């Protein structure tokens, strides 16, 4: 499989800020298409998405290809290898790990580069924002809280997750869990960081 590079829209100039979304396999990745569309509506930017192998089990990369300018589907090892962590990291003005699993959060806190997304984080000279989403029990574990503190101490941005009562895929419970904010709130976060308004939706 080859990396998809959609033809950029005429108004999306080469000078547009380059936003890289690293999507990992939290249940909240089911909202990824809505988040990407909200970013598109709010911000004039070049949008690249990297999906971890787990993320690609929740949402089809084919759907994301219709929204992003570029997509790397890391469930295909050849595609992940060809994309290159250094190039992806160096090309981006802003990186969001969205949603961020306990696994990827912990890997980043320990400086691991065993997989494409943690390797991108490690290789990035630019700001990286982690947006964790996981079961309440996982979030409250001392190891995760320690890893969040470590990431913040290392200069990364880890906003407090939004607590929302709802259906939890992992155990079919219906209680409050920490996760992502609404798509438009996430789009506003991106816009605030890259400062490129899309005039019609600003
Ligand atoms: C149905 C289901 C829901 C899951 N939800 C989450 C979640 O919300 N947060 C999380 O940290 N892990 C969740 N996981 C576990 C991750 O998918 C797993 O740890 C995976 O290895 C993460 O890999 P990645 O970080 O490379 O995407 C879930 C797994 C399943 C099967």
Per-10-residue mean pLDDT, the chain, length 202:
50 80 98 98 96 98 97 97 97 98 98 97 95 97 98 97 89 90 97 79 43
Residues with Cβ within 8 Å of residue 118, at least 6 apart in sequence: 104, 107, 108, 112
Task: Give the pLDDT of residue 44.
Answer: 94
Measure 120 CA to ligand 1 centroid, in angstroms: 19
Q: Give the contacts of 84 (CB within 8 A, at least 6 positions apart).
A: none
Q: Is the preceding omega at residue 182 within 30 degrees of 0, hence cis?
A: no
- Give me the domains of the chain, ranges plus CATH numbers: 17-195 (3.40.50.1950)
The alpha carbon of 22 and the centre of ligand 1 are apart by a number of angstroms equal to 14
Residue nearest to atom 13 of ligand 1 (CA): 26
Give the tokens for residue 128. 């990286």
Distance 170 CA to ligand 1 centre (A): 8
Alpha helices in 19-101 (DSSP H): 32-42, 55-58, 61-65, 77-83, 85-91
């Amino acid at each position: 499989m080859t990396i998809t590079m959609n033809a950029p829209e005429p108004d999306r100039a080469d000078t547009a800020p380059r936003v890289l979304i690293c999507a990992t396999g939290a249940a909240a990745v089911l909202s990824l298409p809505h988040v990407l569309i909200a970013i598109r509506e709010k911000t004039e930017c070049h949008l690249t998405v990297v999906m971890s192998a787990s993320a690609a089990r929740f949402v089809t990369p084919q759907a994301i290809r219709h929204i992003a300018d570029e997509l790397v589907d890391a469930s295909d090892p050849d595609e992940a290898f060809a994309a290159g962590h250094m190039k992806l990291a160096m090309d981006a003005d802003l990186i969001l790990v969205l949603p961020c699993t306990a696994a990827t959060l912990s890997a980043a806190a320990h400086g691991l580069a065993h997989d494409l997304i943690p390797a991108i984080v490690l290789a990035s000279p630019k700001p990286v924002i982690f947006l964790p989403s996981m079961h309440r029990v996982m979030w409250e574990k001392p190891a995760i809280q320690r890893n969040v503190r470590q990431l913040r101490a290392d200069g990364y941005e880890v906003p407090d997750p939004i607590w929302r009562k709802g259906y939890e895929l992992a155990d079919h419970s219906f209680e409050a869990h920490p996760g992502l904010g609404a798509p438009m709130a996430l789009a506003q976060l991106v816009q605030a960081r890259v400062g490129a308004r899309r005039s019609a939706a600003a």
